Structure 1
């Protein structure tokens, strides 16, 4: 098991979009065998973008580590046991950290409510070893309400973050304002007509509607204030304001050939 340092940021300022969700889904399915180029091909962005997104998800405390799945029963018949415990509410977090340090414990889960507010998963060489772990837990001031041997356990990726029956479309978030005005965030595709052009060049080529205003451009974690000579690049997250609303085709300049 590998966990990243705890100094990662856990603020809520980072906005997870469709690309981030697909990255999380792929890593949950198989973090060790899934590479950035594989995810990039699936979501139609560059491998560099995927690596940057993974780094940012780590920095903001969303991705916390990679965890190996082990069948301990195949290792000399070791036993996996789940202890369901009641820890004093005011001491629960401290006790959870103490329980984590006990030999044989591989997972500790704190619950918000109920008597069994602390679940402890432990591995023992035999039943005597599990009893030893149970006594160690109890000595920390925890009451073991129940315990069971775990036969099987399966993890699956979070389905709402995965692909659906349709090809992935660039993430867009619409916000309706007073009247017909709308603000939308859209990720620029590699084959988008505006990719590689400055705002002035895009305007001269009539790629942008007259009532469309680009408010910000987010690029690799940095938010840019666009000017006429600002170049629009693929994978940029562009915030667009439209006084008369977003009509069909208004975003085609950012979406490329696969725009709907």
Structure 2
């Protein structure tokens, strides 16, 4: 609920708010205010105050357990895709939530299918009963399907840059063997045209190397997992290898004389 003191429209998230939301989306049950505070370098009291403010403004709307209903007595989870007349959508949303077995109702913008209803039943007979009760409210069920599994993940843009914890950068910069390295990306280098995530998956970048900035023309950007490396980029990174080959090789043009061309 949004309190009388404010609304979500009046509140602007800053970096601390985003990191709080990321941490709670990742694991709200076991993540504590002191743990989040350690990640963002503020006090636990600040984190608790921020969480309360996010709740007051209707940005954090609740904390829910994720339940595998199939393992809970072998129950079935069914997704109903529904069409609801626009003037009735608020009424039907409220009424659908009172039907026993319905665990989630989601309103959608645009398109003929404008409501998703998630229901749990002991068997198909019970799911058909829920379907009839939904139809009696005045909506039309366009399609339905059994849900096999569902995974929730935190929203990556609210997390640490490039999906890595900011403490990693701190620990690398403070360790004796790590160095800050600036590398100009050469044309035809192995990393050109790849995202950072793709470069990691291809093992062009190892887990000990952290990209912290990319200078491209007059722009300096913070790299993320989906950032594509381009030729002539100036990449700044932390690496325990310094300017040795494992660090610089992905950014340099491959020597064709050393490559083997299959027949």
Please say whether Structure 1 and Structure 2 have the same fold, judged by a TM-score greater than 0.5: yes
List per-residue Cα deviations over 1:89-121 (Å, max 9, x = no partner): 111111111001100000000011111111100
**Cα deviation code 1:166-200 (max 9, x no counterpart):** 738xxxxxxxxxxxxxxxxxxxxxxxxxxxxxxxx
- SS of the residue aligned with 1:74? coil
Q: CA deviation at 1:14?
A: 1.8
Match of 2:217 in 1: none
Instruction: Find the counterpart in structure 1 of residue 109 from structure 2.
Output: 112
Residues 1:21 and 1:141: Cα distance change in structure 2 (over 3 Å): same
1:162-241 mapped onto 2 (5 Å cutoff): 162-164=159-161, 165=164, 167=166
TM normalised by structure 1 equals: 0.61
Moved over 6 A (4+): none
The equivalent of 1:94 in structure 2 is 91
- Aligned CA RMSD, in angstroms, stands at 1.4
Q: Among 66, 69, 90, which residue is 2:66 paired with?
A: 69
Say if 2:22 and 2:156, in contact at 8 Å, map to a contact too.
yes
1:6 Cα shift? 5.0
1:150 counterpart residue number: 147
CA distance in 2, matches of 1:103, 1:6: 26
Query: What's the offset of the Cα at 1:11?
Result: 4.2
User: TM-score, normalized by length of structure 2?
Assistant: 0.60
Aligned counterpart, 1:250: none
Q: Within the alignment, does 1:135 sit opposite 2:132 as a pair?
A: yes
Q: Provide closer, same or farther for how the CA distance between residues 49 and 71 of structure 1 changes in structure 2, counting only shifts above 3 A.
A: same
8 A contact 2:8–2:59 mirrored in 1: no
Query: Would you say how many aligned residue pairs link Structure 1 and Structure 2?
Result: 164
Separation in structure 2 between the aligned mates of residue 73 and residue 53 of structure 1, nearest angstrom: 37
Give me the whole-angstrom Cα distance separating, in 1, the residues matched to 2:125 and 2:53: 45
Q: CA deviation at 1:13?
A: 2.1
- The superposition leaves residues 206-246 of structure 1 with CA deviations (integer Å, 9 ceiling, x where unpaired) of xxxxxxxxxxxxxxxxxxxxxxxxxxxxxxxxxxxxxxxxx
The within-5 A match list for 1:17-56 is 17-56=14-53
Match in the other structure for 1:122? 119
